[in-house]
Homo-oligomer: A and B are copies of this chain.
Amino acid sequence: MISQLITYLERYITLDSEEKQFLQSHILVKPIKKNQLLLWEGEVSSEFYFIIEGCIRMFYWVEGEEKTAFFYTENEFVSSYESFTKHIPARHSLQAVEDTTVAIISSEQAQAMLLKYPKFEFLARVAMEQELSVYQDIIASFITQNAEQRYQALSKSKPQLLQRIPQYQLATYLGVSPETLSRIRKRISNKKLS
């Protein structure tokens, strides 16, 4: 299943068979049960992930309520870069939305890999660039869109996802109550019918 990660990386760089072999034998693939937490707010992140299958959400706790900032899906890196590199507590949590399979790159593995193949430095850069791009999406979305526009954008960028995530989590992403979410869904399906 590491082959999926390798295929993804080869969009950015050419890997020879020795390097591929190294990744195959050193990167752990792990199933994560639905609802399992990969990182808890306040913890220091010591690994980052590449999603082979499934979905992970990033969320914040605000006065006892969850606020979802992003849903990561297949072929995306999930990192808490600042916490991982600066060894400071993460401000958000990461949780599997459904049964999920991830490739895990731990801090020690990353260091061992870089020592043997400095070329893999690009891996950190790719993960970091992806995170920057995701963060820009989150900011632009929070600042420029209302709940209905956020719903439409998500259904466009990740069409399968809306059927897969629990409704209450989707509501915390849109920043509305589950009742308002039902109304948004109804309004959109009426628009499509008319």
Q: How many copies does the complex hold?
A: 2
Q: Is B91 a contact partner of A132 (Cβ separation < 8 A)? A: no
SS class, residues of chain A in contact with chain B? helix
Interface size of A in residues (CB-CB distance below 8 Å): 22
Q: Is A139 a contact partner of B138 (Cβ separation < 8 A)? A: yes
Interfacial chain B residues near A85, Cβ < 8 Å: 129
Q: Is B81 a contact partner of A144 (Cβ separation < 8 A)? A: no
Interface check A82, CB cutoff 8 A = yes
- Given the interface pairs A85-B129, A128-B128, A129-B85, the reply to whether A60 lies near B143 with Cβ below 8 Å is yes
Q: Which 10 A-B pairs rank lowest in CB-CB distance, beginning with the nearest? A: A135-B135, A62-B144, A67-B143, A142-B142, A91-B140, A60-B143, A82-B133, A60-B144, A138-B139, A81-B132
